[in-house]
A and B are shown apart, each in its own frame.
Chain A
Amino acid sequence: MKKNVPSGEHLIAPHRFFLKMLLFMKLTIAIILLTTFQVAASEGNAQNVTLQMRQAEIQKVFRAIEKQSPYYFLYNYDLPALQKKVDVDVKNAPVKSFLDQLLTGSGLTYRIMNSKLVVIVPLTGTPSFQEADKRISGTVTGEAGEPLAGVSIQIKGSNFGTSTDSKGHFSLEVPDNTVLIVSYVGYESQEISTAGQNSLTVALKLSDKQLDQVIVVGYGTQKKKDVTGAITTISGKEMEDRPNTQFGYAIQGKAAGVQVIRPSGQPQAGFSIRIRGTSTITAGSEPLYLVDGVPTSSTQDINPADIESITVLKDASAAAIYGSSGANGVVLITTKRGKNQKTKVNFNTYTGSAKVWKNQDVLNAAQYKDLMTEMGQSADWTKYTADRDWQKEVFRTAKTNSYQLSVAGGNETTGFYLSGGYVRQEGVVMTNELNRYSFKANIDHKISDIFKVGTSISYSRWKDIDVSENRKYGSINAILTGAPVTNVYNTDGTFAIHPFIQDLENPVALLLKNEHSWINNRINANAYIEATLPQNIRLRSMFGYEQLNGTYNAWVDPYRSREGRGFNGIADLYNNQYNFWISENTATWGKAIGNHNLNLLAGFIISEKSTSGSNIHATGFGSSAIPNVSGGSIKTSGYTFSKRRNVAALSRLNYSYDGRFLLTANFRADASTVFSNTSNPWGYFPSFSGGWVISRERFFAGVKHVNELKLRAGWGTVGNDQAADYASYGLVNAGSYYVFGNNVIPGTSLQSIENKSLKWETTKQTNIGLDLSLFNNRVQITTDYYVKQTNEMLLNRPIPASVGIPSNTATKNIGRMENRGFEFQVSSKNLVKELKWSTDFNISFNKSKIISLDGGTIKVGYISDRGNVAIAKEGEQLGLFYGYISDGVDPATGMIKYRDLDNSGTLNDADQTVIGNANPKYVFGLTNSFSYKNWSLNVFIQGVQGNDIFNATRIESEGLMDEGNQRASVLNRWKSVGQVTDMPKATFGSDMNSRISSRFIESGSFVRLKSVTLGYELPKRLLTRLKMSRLYVYVTSENLLTFTRYSGFDPEVSFYGRSTDNAVKNIAPGVDYGTYPQSREFILGLNITF
């Protein structure tokens, strides 16, 4: 029988057809839901058909019968008799008698197999039907003999088939001498002849071919071999075998072109992702994150254990389908779902402890007193007899515990995944901690052959206590500059105060005085209904919702701290709420004609996002008895609310010819209310990409060792609307009261400048890539080159304060910038026998250039009393440091010699220049995995090379100008004329030696043994005795070794990484201003599956 099925998809002809549409409108928002719509026969008379057709080909009549009855037809498409045209008019006729009548004189006959399958054969017969049909049964297993549930068994050349049950069994009535296709995701498909067999045992092999993998792309899935854009996928396995509290940590260093930034070592600090560099200056540059298709605002409280896979869409042609928010790339997170399988229970737990891996030497009490005396500062030292290193008081061994339990299972119609988890992680700085509880339920159900519904619901509760950092008196700067001579408490129980700085308490007091915590509750849920219609049409309607409630409570008691005493106690309460909903409706259609394969997608999406916040601030407490805002006698409060909406229409065409030529075209139109005060809120985002699978060309047939070779090229445009919700409005604040006649009178005040010409920021990206698979697919190489140009950037342009706008900025479309880069990723299976060794390596190069900035510069990154350290400037890269050039210490005066660039003889602004570059030349990740019998070892090395760090912590701790303690390095300070040293003299009250200069620039390059995991899997025979299917124990060390010349606590710094101001995040990376360091962690874990 010739294979001639209309499509490779598992299109099962329906025997019932229901379709009904419900239109729900509210505020003119329509949410279209597809439910059932009964059209034809019900199950009761399924054996009968009612048909009225004129001049219809016989095969079309078969299709019509399929629609009304449970029968499937199997026939050879090439039989000319099938094209015979007939008139049909029957009412409620039994199928059998109708077929007898229909086929009379057609030269065809039929045979009905196990009550459903109708095999059509020519009357003359073929050998294959001379034998009787028979029932064949069998078992499908994996490589290790474990039964596989849900494996598809299909008769080749038909749509007919079945799937295995939870024990891997199947049974099917077939004509003899047919060929069965046995296929399962992640395994290599097999074709098996039934000739002469009654029972089969099929062992499927795990697929080596990454290219055969099905990966999640925007609004659907695609085989990797058909992908034409730049896409990286990371499997959930990365998450399983290396414990991480946040999924971002697990993909750090694993994907070329994807830079994961951990802005701080605080457990709740989260992460930022930059895909192919930062492509805008003051607008948001975080990629779009979607969990099961729903955009999410909070990446931190996603439980990594629930993740099945992560897909990163890097180039414009891949991301363009998300037009409006795709400019910074897209991260698609797919969570685990149950399928037709034996119920699987998984329990995963680990415990760990972390410590800072490096301390700083600081002055002891005697050395501190010497320095103060040298600077003319003297206290009554008899009152200050302590000698302490505040690092010892504040840093601690931090504990982590995690417990995760999941249950997954299902049958042919329903699949479920349930999970619950709890993580508690302490930070290495006292008081700092994070607690996360998470629950997830994913359910899918097939109502009929047409309709499928499902839902994903996740809830998480998050509680954290954060500590201040990246500030002059933030916790990390404070432990270096805190006076070593004081105690924590005075004898009366109040916090001991600095001997010179009267409003500064000791570093422990700074952490203890303000008792505070954030509690966040997050719900992210979606529900979908999918209708699979004939002719490969699929309609999908999804409604997604996310809500985030955050509560912050803070309390400074009225006695212990000077701040508390000044206000008689302080309490704060913030309540924040974030609401997001999205309605997504898509239709897809696929058709194969000969070697041409066509897929179309069209969709319509609306969404709304709103944020609100209220706060109460209270002071004037009578006692400590009520440590919250209720107890205060003087209160203020505030409320903010803002909202944005998006509307989009999208379409995509995928076309391939003979698997050799691939084409993808996207077009998306987006409207955003950010531009609602302008003439046109719409932006249009087209993209195109193509692929040429050279390895499938005939001329390539003789090439040995090359399994796959594909060239990809793409171009596209994506948009960015990540400006403030009301950026186009001139805002006027209504809270500007004043007092007339001893009464409070309401007033208003101007807040921002209206911009009626604001529009979408657009990023054009060109990508050229190559996929290569060698040596029996043991080596896979992907490499890409891209040019990304952002135009009409949404820029919060600094405007002179003299305009009179409080923010001193205006949002405008200004300037252009470019990122160019090269990515290379290789995975190789070096050894595949009993000792297995595989290597994954990726390296990325990216270089940005600000092409135009409206003639201006933007300086951000404020260092206390020194000014801004980072600059965005035309013609330069983004992320540069700006200041004076230090030529070292003048032996004659002990002062830093700054280079007089303008030869004016004095130090002035014109002597400032670019003094460093925070951008790495390249970043790489190298993972080596070994396994031998039941043992496995995973070694992950991460490297960042060629970047500078501005060590502003040293401005405070080597500034030698105020009453703060200093690093021990200042013992080398200049003390006498002629002394040659790199440490200037102490100059109390003068910042001349500690201005922003190249003195504080250091190399930020590092190579880090980011994680090492040694695991052991219990042997099978023991497992059977324990009634388990898997037991895995492991030890992991994070940040075990770090090779760097950087003198601070840790080179993985990002000064304003936690800032909410996009401008400082984008322009001022790589500044260490008392950044909370990454710690070294040891973890012991256990993973059990029943």
Chain B
Amino acid sequence: MKTTYKIVQQVFLGMILVVSLVSCKKFLDIKPETDLTTGNAYNSAQDIENAITGAYRAFYYEYYIWDNVLLSDVRSDNAYAGGGGDQPILAYDELNISTGNNRMLADWSQLYIGIGRCNAILNKIDAIADPLLDKNSRRSQIKGEAAFLRAFHYYQLVKQWGGVPLELNSNSSDPAKTNLPRASEKEVYDQIVKDLELAVTNLPDTYNGPSGSVTDNIPSVNKVRATKGAANALLAKVWAQRSDRDYNKVLQYCNAVIGSPSGYSLLANYDHLFDGDHYSNAESILEVAFIGGNWDVSNWGVQLYLAPEDGWQKYCVPSRNLVNAYDAEGDNVRKSANITYFKDVPWADENWNPCQDNTVSVPFNFKQRHPDGWNSGDRYYLLRLADIILLKAEAQNETGNFTLAAATLNLVRSRVGLAPVTGTSQAQMRTKILNERRLELAFEAQRWDDLLRSGQAVAIMNNLGEVKYTCAGGIPSAPVTINYNCNQNKLLLPIPQGERDANPSLTQNAGY
């Protein structure tokens, strides 16, 4: 009997042992099932195509949906915050941005997430042996696309915050590697230029179509993917915006865009740019693509500006100063393309309609026009030809040729039926170009950069004479002047406190 017990016991224990030794390793080997991993996501040509597609998706982040407009048009003289008392956005409008402004931290983070996706591609792509990747130069094109996108995000960072950490790896959590100090503004711009020069070399003017032929020019691809034209356009903007600007280079890159084999040209009808029926047009160099009605790829931002019928106050309310600027120029075409009016809106507006008078018309940002219940197909232009033409005019003027500058400027004016200007002096042309850019590019996240470049930001913001009202017993009060208290320190955003907590090596901008 005893032997039987022993056998049973030994079998029992033996089985435990066998099971544990044989199957443990396999039993414990489990991998994520609803996510890919860095080990299996970057191994084939299709993998890296997927990765670059994901990198473009960074343009769906809130920064590009509308925060860039808040940080440019609302922050400047083009628009009021609106929205009915949203503190972080009010702070953008009132130039009262604190280091703890969570919106600003989100903006910063989103841009770096975009950069991280590009870094992952640039780090992995050379090790991929898939021969498909070298068909039609896709390897070098994808490198060019990733470099372009990375430059685009760094450009946003450097113009908003000045010098920022230059993260080019995004593959370590080791503080020695992640806690980078801020690079200087010049170093960041130099990296941007380096990336863009690679992009210019690697990117095509237009992409091969499904048939593999270059002539198979599909605008809905070529206006959405980074191209040589987009890289040249961004180089032009970068060389104009950086402190050590070089207008000869600006001129060079503007001309490269204007003379591009891609055949960029101004649309005859300004309104067609924004009416929703003419996206991927000849004037578009790079746009953010959406499909309406599909949550995964639609644009929820339009509802923030339009659809007053849903009952709450909209954001980015056109300012008196902007409306006056259109009226002063007699620019009805662009005014009505960019601003629309509604009466009987169900809220009081401290700038336009303090007593909620249902006979008063209130202006709205009309750059995108189809809110469609947060589910719009309306697109944003990241780069378009009119911007580059006006930049060329600026470069011509700054390099001493204000007559030529006027001629270039008039290309943009004539399309909206405005009389040509003649250049009488460099200073006069500066003013005219700055104003022209404002009217042409309102609500396209350009104004704050223009003010900074012109060196006029502090003076302009402090002399706006904008007013607001209160309401008492149904009667608007006397106008109260809004004081923006702008100074040199407010031209850059503060480094977000949350980021400084995580990375102690970051210094703060002056004045914060």
Contacts and interface: CB of A to CB of B under 8 A. Distances in A.
A695 to B, nearest CB: 39
Contacts of B356: 380
A963 interface: yes
B397 interface: no
A731 B477 contact: no
Given A500-B85, A738-B289, A643 B33 contact: yes
A754 B38 CA distance: 7
B173 A812 contact: yes
A103 B9 CA distance: 33
A740 B50 contact: no
B170 A562 contact: no
Interface in B362-390: 373-375
B170 A739 contact: no
A871 to B, nearest CB: 9
A647 B27 contact: yes
A962 B87 contact: yes
Nearest to A606: B27
Interface string B60-96: 1000000000000000000000011101101000101
Contacts of B41: 732, 748
A382 B473 contact: yes
B51 interface: yes
Nearest to B52: A747
A851 interface: no
B86 to A, nearest CB: 8
A86 interface: no
A566 B1 contact: no
Contacts of B112: 801-804
Contact of B100 (A30, A737, A741, A867): A867
Nearest to A646: B28
Contacts, number: 348
Interface stretch (A283-291, A463-471, A853-861, A1066-1074): A853-861
Interface in B306-321: 307, 309-313
B289 to A, nearest CB: 4
Nearest to B511: A906
Among B33, B59, B60, B506, which residue has the most Cβ atoms of chain A within 10 A? B33
Nearest to B291: A739
A206 interface: no
B4 to A, nearest CB: 5
Nearest to A37: B8
A212 interface: no
Contacts of B498: 801, 859, 867-868
A740 B33 contact: no
Interface string B167-205: 100111101001110000000000000000000000000
Given A730-B37, A802-B178, A859-B501, A537 B9 contact: yes
A951 interface: no
Interface stretch (A15-23, A710-718, A820-828, A1039-1047): A15-23
Given A376-B470, A565-B310, A645-B28, A619 B374 contact: yes
Contacts of A643: 30, 33
Given A604-B16, A726-B32, A804-B117, A749 B55 contact: yes
Interface string A574-618: 000000000001010000000000000000101000000000010
Nearest to B474: A380
B29 A857 contact: no
B51 A748 contact: yes
B182 to A, nearest CB: 10
A745 B167 CA distance: 28
A746 interface: yes
Nearest to B177: A803
A1024 interface: no
B57 A800 contact: no
Contact of A539 (B12, B55, B114, B313): B12
B32 A729 contact: yes
B175 A753 contact: no
A137 interface: no
Among A376, A748, A797, A799, which residue has the most Cβ atoms of chain B within 10 A? A748
B355 interface: yes
Given A497-B311, A640-B34, A737 B84 contact: no
B478 interface: no
B501 A798 contact: yes
A762 B470 CA distance: 62
Contacts of A641: 33-34
Interface stretch (A216-224, A631-639, A830-838): A631-639
B47 interface: yes
A854 B173 CA distance: 12
Nearest to A27: B27
A504 B86 CA distance: 11
A358 B392 CA distance: 69
Given A744-B296, A865-B87, A642 B32 contact: yes
A364 to B, nearest CB: 20
Contacts of A645: 27-28, 30
B477 A378 contact: yes
Q: Give the interface size class of chain A.
A: 35 or more
A39 B1 contact: yes
Nearest to B496: A801
A867 B109 contact: no
A381 B474 CA distance: 8
Nearest to A995: B100
A101 to B, nearest CB: 20
A806 B113 contact: yes
Contact of B480 (A34, A376, A801, A803): A376
A5 interface: no
Contacts of B47: 748
Interface in B247-290: 289-290
A859 B52 CA distance: 34
Interface in A700-740: 725-726, 729-740
A657 to B, nearest CB: 27
Interface string B114-138: 1111011000000000000000000
A501 B37 contact: no
Contacts of B100: 865-867
B159 interface: no
Interface string A554-571: 000000001001111000
Given A30-B15, A30-B23, A742 B289 contact: yes
A673 interface: yes
B492 to A, nearest CB: 16
Given A739-B290, A740-B221, A747-B56, A800 B471 contact: no
Nearest to B348: A379
B51 A747 contact: yes
9 closest A-B pairs by beta carbon, nearest first, are A804-B116, A747-B53, A730-B38, A810-B173, A502-B84, A736-B54, A747-B54, A28-B23, A636-B295
10 contacts: A28-B23, A502-B312, A567-B373, A731-B35, A734-B34, A747-B57, A800-B178, A800-B502, A802-B178, A804-B117
Given A644-B30, A742-B291, 12 more contacts: A28-B19, A380-B356, A502-B84, A562-B311, A673-B30, A737-B297, A738-B56, A738-B57, A747-B51, A749-B113, A802-B165, A908-B512
Interface of A: 17, 19, 21, 23, 25, 27-30, 32, 34, 37, 39-40, 64, 67, 376-382, 494, 497, 500-504, 533-534, 537, 539, 562, 565-568, 585, 587, 604, 606, 617, 619-620, 634-636, 639-645, 647, 649, 671-673, 676-677, 681, 725-726, 729-742, 744-751, 753-755, 797-806, 808, 810, 812, 854-857, 859, 862, 865-868, 908-909, 962-963, 989-991
Interface of B: 1, 4-5, 8-9, 11-13, 15-16, 19-20, 22-24, 26-39, 41-42, 47, 50-57, 59-60, 83-85, 87-88, 90, 94, 96, 98-102, 105, 108-109, 112-117, 119-120, 164-165, 167, 170-173, 175, 178-180, 218, 220-221, 224-225, 289-291, 293-297, 303, 307, 309-313, 347-348, 354-356, 373-375, 470-474, 477, 480, 496-504, 506, 508, 512
